Chains A and B, each alone.
Chain A
Amino acid sequence: EAGVAQSPRYKIIEKRQSVAFWCNPISGHATLYWYQQILGQGPKLLIQFQNNGVVDDSQLPKDRFSAERLKGVDSTLKIQPAKLEDSAVYLCASSLGSMSTQHFGDGTRLSIL
């Protein structure tokens, strides 16, 4: 079974630029999560999708962050414009359902200069 695929693995940008991350979940997984993990901290949920609908985006900074999962399969997370405090690893996870075990991708490490 192929795992959760994320790209790119690393990204370096300057503040005020924009950036996008891509995630392809495990086939058949209805639930998709985006997490932000700042160095030394645990992951923080940014947004949760159930198929192509948003279940929870309460901790997504909506003035600069956006995410979509238009066809209920792969998803993109965008930051525009980036701030220094956005430097983190962005993790995507998927699960069969919202109460099932989450499977994580390798993450995208974002550095803001």
Chain B
Amino acid sequence: KNEVEQSPQNLTAQEGEFITINCSYSVGISALHWLQQHPGGGIVSLFMLSSGKKKHGRLIATINIQEKHSSLHITASHPRDSAVYICAVRKNTDKLIFGTGTRLQVFP
């Protein structure tokens, strides 16, 4: 069993829909990251969380440390949001453990 599990694996949406991607982990962590990977392969860091909630534009990330769960929300989704969204946790070392990603496609 992976230490970091994401759901769903694949997600399609119509432009404008509200999107939620979930991440569960089974280890103690010092921080959780949400990353975005476009088809070209480059990865961009969206959020780093250790508690509570963060918001950047149309993106919102939340984390519940007790339940070992985090969610990434996208409001008013747009085709340019189409990408793979990856959850990664930092254990109590400096190593990142990555989930397998959620592939999001937003259609106009």
Contacts and interface: CB of A to CB of B under 8 A. Distances in A.
Interface of A: 31, 37, 40-45, 48, 55-56, 89, 91, 93, 98-99, 101-107, 109
Interface of B: 4, 30, 33, 35, 40-45, 48, 86, 88, 90, 94-96, 98-101
B94 A98 contact: yes
A91 B41 contact: yes
A90 to B, nearest CB: 9
Interface of A (DSSP majority class): strand
A104 B96 contact: no
Contacts of B41: 37, 89, 91, 106-107, 109
A104 B38 CA distance: 12
A89 B101 CA distance: 15
Given A56-B95, A99-B94, A101-B48, A91 B100 contact: no
Contacts of A91: 41, 43
